[in-house]
Amino acid sequence: MVIDEARTIHRSPFSVVQATWNLREGTVGPALARAHDDGWVVVVKEALANGELAEADPGGEVAVAAAGLPLDAFALGAARAQPGVDIVLSGASTQAQLERGVASGSVHVNEETRRRLAVDPEMYWRQRSARAWR
């Protein structure tokens, strides 16, 4: 993984890593934890999976896992709870979103729930690449 390779560069100019991590695609999690253990600052972006985790069908797997929490607070809290994560970018675009993000605490998501919410990484990145960006 590129993060692990960057950590091995002699006299590396890097000390901060920013990476996508969310409940849909979290494969980078172990590398982020290792970077943090080496003293790097770890920044998580796209914790809401480009908005996918901010909206969910009532009764769907994400809504059930959130157990009554606002979905964005649930997803941000799950990112905050990851080992070694120092900063989670909220992506807030409204005052209400900002307030929910600030109020969200760490949310522990058990391994079984994480497996149910995750999607195939190749599919995740393929769909993300195909999105119409505005």
2-130, CATH topology level: TIM Barrel (3.20.20)
Q: Is the dihedral of CA 42, 81, 50, 26 positive or negative?
A: positive
- Rounded distance between C-alpha atoms, residue 66 and residue 48, angstroms: 13
pLDDT grade, residue 115 (50/70/90)?
very high
SS3 132: coil
**Per-residue model confidence (pLDDT) at position 134:** 57
The conformation of residue 83, written as its DSSP 8-state character, comes to T
pTM above 0.85, yes or no: yes
Which comes out higher in pLDDT, residue 43 or 70?
43
Q: For every residue of 16-64, which 3-state class applies, written as one string?
A: EEEEECCCCCCCCHHHHHHHHHCCCEEEEECCCCCCHHHCCCCCCHHHH
Domain residue limits, the chain: 2-130
Summary mean pLDDT of the chain = 91
